[in-house]
Structure 1
Amino acid sequence: MISFDPKAVAADLRTLRDFIRYGVSRFTAAGVSFGHGTTNAFDEAVFLVLETLHLPIDQLDPYIDARLTLAEREALAVLIEARVETRKPAAYLTNRAYIQGIPFYVDERVIVPRSYIGEILFSDMIGGADFALIDDPASVERVLDLCTGSGCLAILAAQVFPNAQVDAIDLSEEALEVAAKNVADHGVEDRVTLLHGDLFAPVKGQRYDLILTNPPYVDAEAMACLPPEYLHEPDMALAAGADGMDIVRRIIAEAPRHLVDGGGLLCEFGTGREILEEDYPNLDFLWLETAESFGEVFWLTREQWKRG
Protein backbone atom coordinates (compact mmCIF):
# COMPACT_ATOMS: atom_id res chain seq x y z
CA MET A 1 0.00 0.00 0.00
CA ILE A 2 1.37 3.42 -0.98
CA SER A 3 1.38 5.85 1.93
CA PHE A 4 0.10 9.38 1.43
CA ASP A 5 2.83 12.02 1.13
CA PRO A 6 1.52 15.60 1.31
CA LYS A 7 4.91 16.96 0.26
CA ALA A 8 4.79 14.97 -2.96
CA VAL A 9 1.29 16.21 -3.74
CA ALA A 10 2.32 19.77 -2.90
CA ALA A 11 5.31 19.49 -5.25
CA ASP A 12 3.12 18.51 -8.21
CA LEU A 13 0.22 20.95 -7.71
CA ARG A 14 0.64 24.72 -7.78
CA THR A 15 -2.61 26.68 -8.18
CA LEU A 16 -6.15 26.72 -6.82
CA ARG A 17 -7.24 25.23 -10.12
CA ASP A 18 -4.81 22.35 -9.62
CA PHE A 19 -6.11 21.58 -6.14
CA ILE A 20 -9.76 21.82 -7.10
CA ARG A 21 -9.17 19.39 -9.98
CA TYR A 22 -7.21 17.11 -7.67
CA GLY A 23 -9.92 17.24 -5.02
CA VAL A 24 -12.66 16.40 -7.54
CA SER A 25 -10.64 13.44 -8.78
CA ARG A 26 -9.92 12.12 -5.27
CA PHE A 27 -13.51 12.54 -4.09
CA THR A 28 -14.95 10.92 -7.20
CA ALA A 29 -12.54 7.99 -7.18
CA ALA A 30 -13.16 7.36 -3.48
CA GLY A 31 -16.93 7.58 -3.83
CA VAL A 32 -17.40 10.06 -1.00
CA SER A 33 -20.92 11.26 -0.20
CA PHE A 34 -22.15 14.83 -0.09
CA GLY A 35 -25.11 16.68 1.37
CA HIS A 36 -23.56 18.85 4.10
CA GLY A 37 -23.71 22.15 2.28
CA THR A 38 -22.66 20.83 -1.13
CA THR A 39 -24.14 18.22 -3.46
CA ASN A 40 -21.22 17.26 -5.69
CA ALA A 41 -17.47 16.75 -5.80
CA PHE A 42 -16.69 20.06 -7.52
CA ASP A 43 -18.56 22.23 -5.01
CA GLU A 44 -17.05 20.27 -2.13
CA ALA A 45 -13.53 20.78 -3.47
CA VAL A 46 -14.14 24.48 -4.08
CA PHE A 47 -15.48 24.97 -0.56
CA LEU A 48 -12.62 23.07 1.05
CA VAL A 49 -9.96 24.96 -0.91
CA LEU A 50 -11.39 28.46 -0.52
CA GLU A 51 -12.31 28.06 3.16
CA THR A 52 -8.89 26.61 4.02
CA LEU A 53 -7.17 29.54 2.31
CA HIS A 54 -9.49 32.08 4.03
CA LEU A 55 -10.84 33.27 0.70
CA PRO A 56 -14.48 34.27 0.02
CA ILE A 57 -16.33 31.06 -0.75
CA ASP A 58 -18.42 32.77 -3.44
CA GLN A 59 -15.47 34.29 -5.34
CA LEU A 60 -13.54 31.58 -7.11
CA ASP A 61 -12.74 33.30 -10.43
CA PRO A 62 -10.37 36.02 -9.17
CA TYR A 63 -8.15 33.42 -7.50
CA ILE A 64 -8.50 30.34 -9.71
CA ASP A 65 -5.00 30.55 -11.21
CA ALA A 66 -3.24 32.03 -8.21
CA ARG A 67 -0.09 30.16 -7.20
CA LEU A 68 0.00 28.94 -3.63
CA THR A 69 2.79 28.87 -1.07
CA LEU A 70 4.32 25.56 -0.11
CA ALA A 71 2.64 25.69 3.31
CA GLU A 72 -0.75 26.33 1.69
CA ARG A 73 -0.26 23.47 -0.77
CA GLU A 74 0.69 21.01 1.95
CA ALA A 75 -2.28 22.07 4.10
CA LEU A 76 -4.68 21.54 1.21
CA ALA A 77 -3.17 18.17 0.35
CA VAL A 78 -3.66 17.02 3.96
CA LEU A 79 -7.27 18.22 4.13
CA ILE A 80 -8.29 16.69 0.81
CA GLU A 81 -6.83 13.38 1.93
CA ALA A 82 -8.55 13.70 5.31
CA ARG A 83 -11.88 14.24 3.54
CA VAL A 84 -11.39 10.93 1.74
CA GLU A 85 -9.92 8.86 4.56
CA THR A 86 -12.06 10.03 7.48
CA ARG A 87 -15.25 10.70 5.48
CA LYS A 88 -15.83 13.75 7.65
CA PRO A 89 -17.86 16.46 5.89
CA ALA A 90 -15.77 19.42 4.79
CA ALA A 91 -17.60 21.61 7.31
CA TYR A 92 -16.13 19.57 10.17
CA LEU A 93 -12.64 19.66 8.69
CA THR A 94 -12.76 23.46 8.36
CA ASN A 95 -15.05 24.10 11.39
CA ARG A 96 -17.18 26.32 9.18
CA ALA A 97 -20.63 26.17 7.63
CA TYR A 98 -22.66 28.86 5.89
CA ILE A 99 -26.37 29.63 5.88
CA GLN A 100 -27.40 32.37 3.45
CA GLY A 101 -23.73 33.33 3.14
CA ILE A 102 -23.37 33.85 6.90
CA PRO A 103 -20.60 31.81 8.58
CA PHE A 104 -21.06 29.64 11.65
CA TYR A 105 -18.64 27.57 13.69
CA VAL A 106 -19.39 23.84 13.65
CA ASP A 107 -17.81 20.68 14.96
CA GLU A 108 -19.00 17.15 15.65
CA ARG A 109 -21.02 18.23 18.68
CA VAL A 110 -23.67 19.57 16.29
CA ILE A 111 -25.27 18.61 13.01
CA VAL A 112 -23.88 20.51 10.02
CA PRO A 113 -26.54 23.22 9.47
CA ARG A 114 -28.30 23.01 6.12
CA SER A 115 -31.86 24.13 6.81
CA TYR A 116 -34.25 25.42 4.16
CA ILE A 117 -35.63 27.71 6.87
CA GLY A 118 -32.62 30.01 6.46
CA GLU A 119 -33.63 30.66 2.86
CA ILE A 120 -37.24 31.29 3.87
CA LEU A 121 -36.25 33.81 6.54
CA PHE A 122 -34.35 35.84 3.95
CA SER A 123 -37.01 35.57 1.26
CA ASP A 124 -40.14 37.58 0.43
CA MET A 125 -42.08 35.13 2.60
CA ILE A 126 -40.99 37.37 5.47
CA GLY A 127 -42.05 40.98 4.94
CA GLY A 128 -42.77 40.57 1.25
CA ALA A 129 -45.08 42.95 -0.60
CA ASP A 130 -47.38 40.27 -2.05
CA PHE A 131 -47.61 37.01 -0.09
CA ALA A 132 -45.86 36.81 3.28
CA LEU A 133 -46.02 34.55 6.30
CA ILE A 134 -45.17 37.57 8.44
CA ASP A 135 -46.06 40.98 7.00
CA ASP A 136 -43.91 43.15 9.25
CA PRO A 137 -40.66 41.67 10.64
CA ALA A 138 -40.38 44.60 13.06
CA SER A 139 -43.63 43.54 14.74
CA VAL A 140 -42.19 40.20 15.91
CA GLU A 141 -41.28 40.46 19.58
CA ARG A 142 -40.54 36.88 20.62
CA VAL A 143 -39.12 33.95 18.63
CA LEU A 144 -38.49 30.37 19.77
CA ASP A 145 -35.98 28.11 18.01
CA LEU A 146 -36.46 24.45 18.95
CA CYS A 147 -33.61 21.95 18.46
CA THR A 148 -31.26 24.87 17.86
CA GLY A 149 -28.06 22.85 17.42
CA SER A 150 -25.34 25.29 16.36
CA GLY A 151 -27.71 28.20 17.02
CA CYS A 152 -27.69 29.31 13.39
CA LEU A 153 -31.44 29.75 12.95
CA ALA A 154 -31.77 31.63 16.23
CA ILE A 155 -28.99 33.99 15.16
CA LEU A 156 -30.53 34.49 11.71
CA ALA A 157 -33.89 35.20 13.37
CA ALA A 158 -32.25 37.89 15.50
CA GLN A 159 -31.04 39.53 12.28
CA VAL A 160 -34.34 39.22 10.38
CA PHE A 161 -36.56 40.35 13.27
CA PRO A 162 -34.80 43.43 14.67
CA ASN A 163 -37.04 43.86 17.72
CA ALA A 164 -37.30 40.21 18.74
CA GLN A 165 -35.91 38.38 21.71
CA VAL A 166 -35.02 34.83 20.70
CA ASP A 167 -35.07 31.75 22.93
CA ALA A 168 -33.14 28.76 21.57
CA ILE A 169 -33.52 25.28 23.06
CA ASP A 170 -31.61 22.05 22.64
CA LEU A 171 -31.53 18.75 24.52
CA SER A 172 -27.77 18.45 23.97
CA GLU A 173 -25.56 20.40 26.34
CA GLU A 174 -22.66 19.90 23.93
CA ALA A 175 -24.65 21.47 21.10
CA LEU A 176 -25.42 24.45 23.31
CA GLU A 177 -21.68 24.94 23.87
CA VAL A 178 -21.26 25.35 20.11
CA ALA A 179 -24.34 27.59 19.93
CA ALA A 180 -22.90 29.80 22.70
CA LYS A 181 -19.73 30.30 20.65
CA ASN A 182 -21.77 31.30 17.60
CA VAL A 183 -24.00 33.64 19.60
CA ALA A 184 -20.88 35.34 20.97
CA ASP A 185 -19.16 35.43 17.57
CA HIS A 186 -22.18 37.18 16.06
CA GLY A 187 -22.56 39.58 18.98
CA VAL A 188 -26.18 38.72 19.81
CA GLU A 189 -25.80 37.67 23.47
CA ASP A 190 -28.36 40.33 24.44
CA ARG A 191 -30.89 39.03 21.91
CA VAL A 192 -30.51 35.23 21.99
CA THR A 193 -31.01 33.16 25.14
CA LEU A 194 -29.83 29.54 25.06
CA LEU A 195 -31.82 27.03 27.11
CA HIS A 196 -31.19 23.36 27.88
CA GLY A 197 -34.10 20.95 27.83
CA ASP A 198 -36.53 18.75 25.95
CA LEU A 199 -38.51 20.76 23.38
CA PHE A 200 -40.89 23.19 25.15
CA ALA A 201 -40.03 22.13 28.72
CA PRO A 202 -37.72 25.11 29.49
CA VAL A 203 -40.36 27.66 28.37
CA LYS A 204 -43.47 26.26 30.01
CA GLY A 205 -46.29 28.80 29.91
CA GLN A 206 -44.52 31.19 27.54
CA ARG A 207 -45.87 32.29 24.16
CA TYR A 208 -44.17 33.42 20.97
CA ASP A 209 -44.94 35.24 17.74
CA LEU A 210 -42.90 32.69 15.81
CA ILE A 211 -41.60 29.18 16.48
CA LEU A 212 -38.83 27.88 14.23
CA THR A 213 -37.69 24.28 14.24
CA ASN A 214 -35.52 21.97 12.18
CA PRO A 215 -35.85 18.89 14.40
CA PRO A 216 -34.52 15.35 13.86
CA TYR A 217 -36.59 13.64 11.15
CA VAL A 218 -34.61 10.68 9.77
CA ASP A 219 -36.56 7.42 9.86
CA ALA A 220 -35.21 4.11 11.15
CA GLU A 221 -34.69 2.59 7.70
CA ALA A 222 -32.64 5.57 6.52
CA MET A 223 -30.65 5.65 9.78
CA ALA A 224 -29.61 2.05 9.18
CA CYS A 225 -27.97 2.86 5.85
CA LEU A 226 -26.57 6.36 6.27
CA PRO A 227 -23.35 7.12 4.34
CA PRO A 228 -20.24 7.40 6.55
CA GLU A 229 -20.29 11.21 6.36
CA TYR A 230 -23.57 11.33 8.28
CA LEU A 231 -22.29 9.01 10.99
CA HIS A 232 -19.99 11.81 12.18
CA GLU A 233 -23.07 13.84 13.13
CA PRO A 234 -24.77 13.36 16.52
CA ASP A 235 -27.25 10.51 16.26
CA MET A 236 -29.75 12.42 18.41
CA ALA A 237 -29.79 15.22 15.85
CA LEU A 238 -30.96 12.84 13.12
CA ALA A 239 -32.95 9.86 14.42
CA ALA A 240 -36.69 10.35 14.99
CA GLY A 241 -38.33 6.94 15.25
CA ALA A 242 -39.70 4.41 12.80
CA ASP A 243 -41.14 6.91 10.32
CA GLY A 244 -39.03 9.94 11.27
CA MET A 245 -41.98 11.94 12.56
CA ASP A 246 -41.81 11.24 16.33
CA ILE A 247 -40.46 14.65 17.31
CA VAL A 248 -42.46 16.53 14.69
CA ARG A 249 -45.66 15.02 16.15
CA ARG A 250 -44.69 16.21 19.62
CA ILE A 251 -44.04 19.70 18.31
CA ILE A 252 -47.39 19.83 16.49
CA ALA A 253 -49.14 18.69 19.66
CA GLU A 254 -47.51 21.28 21.93
CA ALA A 255 -46.87 24.30 19.71
CA PRO A 256 -50.37 25.89 19.84
CA ARG A 257 -50.04 26.43 23.59
CA HIS A 258 -46.87 28.44 22.95
CA LEU A 259 -48.13 30.76 20.20
CA VAL A 260 -49.79 34.13 20.57
CA ASP A 261 -52.86 34.91 18.51
CA GLY A 262 -51.62 35.37 14.96
CA GLY A 263 -48.42 33.46 15.72
CA GLY A 264 -47.13 30.61 13.58
CA LEU A 265 -44.89 27.54 13.46
CA LEU A 266 -42.28 27.14 10.70
CA CYS A 267 -41.07 23.53 10.69
CA GLU A 268 -38.68 21.62 8.43
CA PHE A 269 -39.56 17.93 8.49
CA GLY A 270 -38.03 16.22 5.47
CA THR A 271 -40.06 14.11 3.07
CA GLY A 272 -42.86 13.03 5.42
CA ARG A 273 -45.63 15.14 3.89
CA GLU A 274 -47.89 12.16 3.16
CA ILE A 275 -47.48 10.92 6.73
CA LEU A 276 -48.49 14.29 8.19
CA GLU A 277 -51.44 14.67 5.84
CA GLU A 278 -52.71 11.25 6.91
CA ASP A 279 -52.08 11.88 10.63
CA TYR A 280 -53.63 15.36 10.67
CA PRO A 281 -56.40 15.48 8.04
CA ASN A 282 -58.03 18.50 9.71
CA LEU A 283 -54.90 20.67 9.83
CA ASP A 284 -54.49 23.01 6.88
CA PHE A 285 -50.72 22.82 6.42
CA LEU A 286 -49.16 25.39 4.13
CA TRP A 287 -46.41 23.52 2.28
CA LEU A 288 -43.60 25.87 1.35
CA GLU A 289 -41.25 25.91 -1.62
CA THR A 290 -37.55 26.78 -1.64
CA ALA A 291 -34.92 26.72 -4.38
CA GLU A 292 -34.20 23.02 -3.77
CA SER A 293 -37.35 21.69 -2.12
CA PHE A 294 -41.13 21.64 -2.14
CA GLY A 295 -43.25 20.42 0.73
CA GLU A 296 -40.36 19.78 3.14
CA VAL A 297 -41.21 22.83 5.28
CA PHE A 298 -44.67 23.67 6.58
CA TRP A 299 -46.30 26.72 8.13
CA LEU A 300 -49.15 26.50 10.65
CA THR A 301 -50.76 29.38 12.52
CA ARG A 302 -52.45 29.20 15.91
CA GLU A 303 -55.74 29.95 14.19
CA GLN A 304 -55.34 26.93 11.91
CA TRP A 305 -55.05 24.69 14.96
CA LYS A 306 -58.25 26.21 16.32
CA ARG A 307 -60.08 25.55 13.06
CA GLY A 308 -58.66 22.00 12.82
Structure 2
Amino acid sequence: MATLAVLALAGCTSSSGDDTDAAAGLAADAGRELEAVAERLEHFQGFAGDGVLVSPFLARGSAQVPDFDFDVEEGYVLTIYCLGDTGAVDVHIDGEPSGPEPMDCRDGQITMARNAPDMSAAESDILVSAEGEDAYWLAGVTRSTDAYRAVSEDVGSSRGGTIELAVSQTCTLASDADCALVDGEPVTIAPSQFISAGVKEADAVPDGVSSDAVRLQLDDQGASTLHSLSAEVAELGEEGRLLVKVGDEMLSALRVPAALDGSDVQIALGDDTTARSVIERIREG
Protein backbone atom coordinates (compact mmCIF):
# COMPACT_ATOMS: atom_id res chain seq x y z
CA MET A 1 0.00 0.00 0.00
CA ALA A 2 2.90 2.36 0.70
CA THR A 3 4.12 1.91 -2.89
CA LEU A 4 0.65 2.69 -4.22
CA ALA A 5 0.53 5.83 -2.09
CA VAL A 6 3.85 7.10 -3.43
CA LEU A 7 2.76 6.43 -7.01
CA ALA A 8 -0.55 8.21 -6.48
CA LEU A 9 1.23 11.16 -4.95
CA ALA A 10 3.52 11.45 -7.94
CA GLY A 11 0.85 13.47 -9.74
CA CYS A 12 0.42 15.83 -6.80
CA THR A 13 2.36 19.05 -6.40
CA SER A 14 2.37 21.48 -3.51
CA SER A 15 0.75 24.89 -3.77
CA SER A 16 4.14 26.54 -4.23
CA GLY A 17 4.83 24.43 -7.33
CA ASP A 18 7.45 22.20 -5.67
CA ASP A 19 7.85 18.57 -6.66
CA THR A 20 6.54 15.36 -5.13
CA ASP A 21 9.04 15.45 -2.27
CA ALA A 22 7.62 18.79 -1.11
CA ALA A 23 4.07 17.42 -1.30
CA ALA A 24 5.11 14.35 0.67
CA GLY A 25 6.72 16.66 3.22
CA LEU A 26 3.45 18.55 3.61
CA ALA A 27 1.62 15.28 4.18
CA ALA A 28 4.18 14.24 6.81
CA ASP A 29 3.93 17.63 8.54
CA ALA A 30 0.15 17.21 8.67
CA GLY A 31 0.63 13.98 10.58
CA ARG A 32 -1.19 11.99 7.90
CA GLU A 33 -0.05 8.70 6.41
CA LEU A 34 0.60 8.88 2.68
CA GLU A 35 -2.12 6.26 2.25
CA ALA A 36 -4.71 8.79 3.46
CA VAL A 37 -3.63 11.24 0.76
CA ALA A 38 -3.62 8.44 -1.81
CA GLU A 39 -7.21 7.48 -0.95
CA ARG A 40 -8.39 10.98 -1.76
CA LEU A 41 -6.40 11.04 -4.98
CA GLU A 42 -7.95 7.73 -6.01
CA HIS A 43 -11.41 9.10 -5.23
CA PHE A 44 -10.74 12.18 -7.37
CA GLN A 45 -9.36 10.12 -10.25
CA GLY A 46 -12.29 7.72 -9.96
CA PHE A 47 -14.90 10.31 -10.93
CA ALA A 48 -12.71 12.77 -12.87
CA GLY A 49 -11.64 10.35 -15.61
CA ASP A 50 -10.08 12.28 -18.48
CA GLY A 51 -11.86 15.49 -17.49
CA VAL A 52 -9.12 16.84 -15.20
CA LEU A 53 -8.41 20.57 -15.62
CA VAL A 54 -6.16 20.94 -12.56
CA SER A 55 -4.46 17.88 -11.07
CA PRO A 56 -4.91 17.53 -7.29
CA PHE A 57 -2.44 19.59 -5.28
CA LEU A 58 -1.71 19.57 -1.57
CA ALA A 59 -1.69 22.85 0.35
CA ARG A 60 -1.77 24.35 3.83
CA GLY A 61 -3.60 27.52 4.86
CA SER A 62 -4.23 29.68 1.79
CA ALA A 63 -3.24 28.89 -1.78
CA GLN A 64 -4.15 29.87 -5.32
CA VAL A 65 -5.64 27.30 -7.65
CA PRO A 66 -3.38 27.10 -10.74
CA ASP A 67 -4.74 28.80 -13.86
CA PHE A 68 -6.79 26.61 -16.21
CA ASP A 69 -8.91 26.96 -19.35
CA PHE A 70 -12.56 25.93 -19.42
CA ASP A 71 -15.62 26.05 -21.65
CA VAL A 72 -17.98 28.72 -20.29
CA GLU A 73 -20.99 26.74 -21.55
CA GLU A 74 -19.76 23.62 -19.80
CA GLY A 75 -18.50 25.12 -16.56
CA TYR A 76 -16.13 23.45 -14.13
CA VAL A 77 -16.09 21.76 -10.72
CA LEU A 78 -13.70 22.52 -7.85
CA THR A 79 -13.31 19.63 -5.38
CA ILE A 80 -11.60 20.19 -2.02
CA TYR A 81 -10.66 17.41 0.40
CA CYS A 82 -10.04 18.52 3.98
CA LEU A 83 -7.34 16.74 6.00
CA GLY A 84 -6.93 16.40 9.75
CA ASP A 85 -8.50 19.20 11.77
CA THR A 86 -9.34 21.42 8.81
CA GLY A 87 -12.96 22.30 9.56
CA ALA A 88 -13.98 25.15 7.24
CA VAL A 89 -12.76 26.52 3.93
CA ASP A 90 -13.28 29.87 2.20
CA VAL A 91 -13.23 30.10 -1.59
CA HIS A 92 -12.76 33.51 -3.23
CA ILE A 93 -13.15 33.99 -6.99
CA ASP A 94 -11.74 37.21 -8.46
CA GLY A 95 -11.54 38.57 -4.92
CA GLU A 96 -15.20 37.88 -4.11
CA PRO A 97 -16.39 35.18 -1.65
CA SER A 98 -18.20 32.28 -3.31
CA GLY A 99 -20.79 32.18 -0.53
CA PRO A 100 -22.06 34.05 2.53
CA GLU A 101 -20.17 31.82 4.99
CA PRO A 102 -17.15 29.48 5.03
CA MET A 103 -17.98 25.96 3.86
CA ASP A 104 -17.82 23.17 6.43
CA CYS A 105 -15.85 20.09 5.38
CA ARG A 106 -14.28 18.62 8.53
CA ASP A 107 -12.80 15.22 7.58
CA GLY A 108 -14.73 15.35 4.32
CA GLN A 109 -14.95 17.20 1.06
CA ILE A 110 -16.52 20.18 -0.68
CA THR A 111 -17.68 19.99 -4.28
CA MET A 112 -18.42 23.37 -5.85
CA ALA A 113 -19.90 23.49 -9.36
CA ARG A 114 -19.58 26.69 -11.40
CA ASN A 115 -22.09 26.98 -14.22
CA ALA A 116 -23.52 29.65 -16.49
CA PRO A 117 -25.10 32.13 -15.88
CA ASP A 118 -23.34 32.47 -12.50
CA MET A 119 -19.88 32.59 -14.07
CA SER A 120 -18.07 34.20 -16.98
CA ALA A 121 -15.29 33.27 -19.38
CA ALA A 122 -13.05 35.81 -17.64
CA GLU A 123 -13.37 34.07 -14.28
CA SER A 124 -9.97 33.41 -12.73
CA ASP A 125 -7.90 33.97 -9.58
CA ILE A 126 -9.40 31.27 -7.35
CA LEU A 127 -8.11 31.44 -3.77
CA VAL A 128 -8.79 28.65 -1.26
CA SER A 129 -8.22 29.49 2.42
CA ALA A 130 -8.40 27.48 5.63
CA GLU A 131 -7.52 28.89 9.04
CA GLY A 132 -4.90 27.36 11.32
CA GLU A 133 -1.32 26.18 11.04
CA ASP A 134 -2.49 22.59 10.63
CA ALA A 135 -5.18 23.35 8.04
CA TYR A 136 -4.23 21.02 5.19
CA TRP A 137 -6.27 20.25 2.11
CA LEU A 138 -6.17 18.71 -1.36
CA ALA A 139 -7.91 20.34 -4.30
CA GLY A 140 -8.44 19.61 -7.98
CA VAL A 141 -10.58 20.92 -10.84
CA THR A 142 -12.55 18.89 -13.39
CA ARG A 143 -14.80 19.58 -16.32
CA SER A 144 -18.48 19.70 -15.49
CA THR A 145 -20.85 16.82 -16.26
CA ASP A 146 -24.57 16.54 -16.95
CA ALA A 147 -25.13 15.85 -13.25
CA TYR A 148 -23.23 18.95 -12.18
CA ARG A 149 -24.85 21.11 -14.83
CA ALA A 150 -28.24 20.13 -13.45
CA VAL A 151 -27.86 23.01 -11.01
CA SER A 152 -28.38 25.47 -13.86
CA GLU A 153 -31.46 23.75 -15.31
CA ASP A 154 -35.01 24.60 -14.29
CA VAL A 155 -35.45 21.59 -12.02
CA GLY A 156 -31.80 21.39 -10.95
CA SER A 157 -31.93 24.33 -8.60
CA SER A 158 -34.56 26.01 -6.52
CA ARG A 159 -35.02 29.41 -4.97
CA GLY A 160 -37.51 29.13 -2.15
CA GLY A 161 -39.33 26.15 -0.68
CA THR A 162 -39.42 24.13 2.52
CA ILE A 163 -38.16 20.98 4.17
CA GLU A 164 -39.46 19.40 7.37
CA LEU A 165 -37.41 18.56 10.45
CA ALA A 166 -38.20 16.52 13.55
CA VAL A 167 -36.50 15.24 16.69
CA SER A 168 -36.37 11.45 16.85
CA GLN A 169 -34.47 8.58 18.41
CA THR A 170 -33.66 4.98 17.66
CA CYS A 171 -36.26 2.33 18.49
CA THR A 172 -37.14 -1.36 18.22
CA LEU A 173 -39.26 -2.24 15.19
CA ALA A 174 -41.23 -5.05 16.81
CA SER A 175 -42.24 -3.13 19.93
CA ASP A 176 -43.02 0.42 18.74
CA ALA A 177 -45.86 1.25 16.36
CA ASP A 178 -44.18 4.54 15.38
CA CYS A 179 -40.87 2.81 14.58
CA ALA A 180 -39.77 2.67 10.92
CA LEU A 181 -36.57 2.32 8.93
CA VAL A 182 -34.81 5.45 7.68
CA ASP A 183 -31.37 5.04 6.09
CA GLY A 184 -31.60 1.40 7.18
CA GLU A 185 -31.94 2.38 10.83
CA PRO A 186 -35.08 2.05 13.01
CA VAL A 187 -36.23 5.45 14.32
CA THR A 188 -39.48 6.82 15.70
CA ILE A 189 -41.60 8.79 13.23
CA ALA A 190 -44.52 10.86 14.48
CA PRO A 191 -46.00 13.12 11.75
CA SER A 192 -47.16 15.70 14.31
CA GLN A 193 -43.56 16.31 15.41
CA PHE A 194 -42.35 17.71 12.07
CA ILE A 195 -41.69 21.44 11.77
CA SER A 196 -41.29 23.25 8.45
CA ALA A 197 -37.97 24.96 7.77
CA GLY A 198 -37.71 27.58 5.03
CA VAL A 199 -35.19 27.11 2.22
CA LYS A 200 -33.67 30.03 0.30
CA GLU A 201 -31.83 27.94 -2.28
CA ALA A 202 -31.28 24.26 -3.04
CA ASP A 203 -28.62 22.95 -5.41
CA ALA A 204 -27.67 19.51 -6.71
CA VAL A 205 -24.16 18.54 -5.64
CA PRO A 206 -22.99 15.10 -6.87
CA ASP A 207 -20.50 13.54 -4.47
CA GLY A 208 -18.43 12.08 -7.29
CA VAL A 209 -18.97 8.39 -6.55
CA SER A 210 -22.38 6.70 -6.52
CA SER A 211 -25.01 9.11 -5.30
CA ASP A 212 -26.02 12.74 -5.28
CA ALA A 213 -26.19 15.24 -2.50
CA VAL A 214 -28.33 18.33 -2.03
CA ARG A 215 -26.89 21.55 -0.67
CA LEU A 216 -29.44 23.75 1.11
CA GLN A 217 -29.24 27.36 2.17
CA LEU A 218 -31.95 27.91 4.78
CA ASP A 219 -33.69 31.21 5.43
CA ASP A 220 -33.59 32.83 8.88
CA GLN A 221 -36.59 30.84 10.13
CA GLY A 222 -35.17 27.60 8.74
CA ALA A 223 -31.75 28.18 10.32
CA SER A 224 -33.36 28.95 13.67
CA THR A 225 -35.47 25.78 13.48
CA LEU A 226 -32.42 23.71 12.55
CA HIS A 227 -30.48 25.11 15.49
CA SER A 228 -33.18 24.48 18.10
CA LEU A 229 -34.10 20.97 16.93
CA SER A 230 -30.49 19.87 16.49
CA ALA A 231 -29.79 21.04 20.05
CA GLU A 232 -32.61 18.78 21.28
CA VAL A 233 -31.23 15.85 19.29
CA ALA A 234 -27.73 16.41 20.69
CA GLU A 235 -29.12 16.23 24.23
CA LEU A 236 -30.50 12.74 23.49
CA GLY A 237 -26.98 11.43 23.00
CA GLU A 238 -26.20 8.33 20.93
CA GLU A 239 -29.88 7.49 20.36
CA GLY A 240 -30.89 10.94 19.09
CA ARG A 241 -31.60 11.53 15.39
CA LEU A 242 -32.65 14.57 13.37
CA LEU A 243 -35.18 13.55 10.73
CA VAL A 244 -35.22 15.40 7.41
CA LYS A 245 -38.31 15.06 5.22
CA VAL A 246 -39.27 16.57 1.86
CA GLY A 247 -42.87 16.11 0.83
CA ASP A 248 -43.80 12.53 1.62
CA GLU A 249 -40.23 11.24 1.42
CA MET A 250 -38.02 10.75 4.46
CA LEU A 251 -34.55 11.79 3.33
CA SER A 252 -32.33 11.14 6.29
CA ALA A 253 -31.97 10.43 10.00
CA LEU A 254 -28.91 12.42 11.05
CA ARG A 255 -26.73 11.93 14.10
CA VAL A 256 -26.06 15.34 15.61
CA PRO A 257 -23.32 15.59 18.28
CA ALA A 258 -23.95 19.31 18.90
CA ALA A 259 -26.37 22.08 17.94
CA LEU A 260 -25.98 23.12 14.30
CA ASP A 261 -25.32 26.78 13.60
CA GLY A 262 -25.51 28.62 10.31
CA SER A 263 -27.78 28.29 7.30
CA ASP A 264 -25.87 25.92 4.99
CA VAL A 265 -26.67 22.20 5.06
CA GLN A 266 -25.52 19.40 2.77
CA ILE A 267 -27.44 16.11 2.76
CA ALA A 268 -26.18 12.95 1.05
CA LEU A 269 -28.85 11.00 -0.81
CA GLY A 270 -29.27 7.28 -1.26
CA ASP A 271 -28.78 5.52 -4.58
CA ASP A 272 -32.54 5.43 -5.21
CA THR A 273 -33.03 9.18 -4.68
CA THR A 274 -31.94 11.87 -7.12
CA ALA A 275 -31.11 15.46 -6.27
CA ARG A 276 -33.36 16.57 -9.11
CA SER A 277 -36.46 14.92 -7.59
CA VAL A 278 -35.67 16.26 -4.11
CA ILE A 279 -35.26 19.82 -5.40
CA GLU A 280 -38.59 19.59 -7.23
CA ARG A 281 -40.32 18.61 -3.98
CA ILE A 282 -38.55 21.36 -2.02
CA ARG A 283 -39.88 23.88 -4.52
CA GLU A 284 -43.39 22.43 -4.29
CA GLY A 285 -43.24 22.59 -0.48
TM-score normalised by length of structure 2: 0.29
Larger C-alpha radius of gyration, 1 or 2?
Answer: 1
Larger relative contact order, structure 1 or 2 (CA cutoff 8 Å, min sep 6): 2
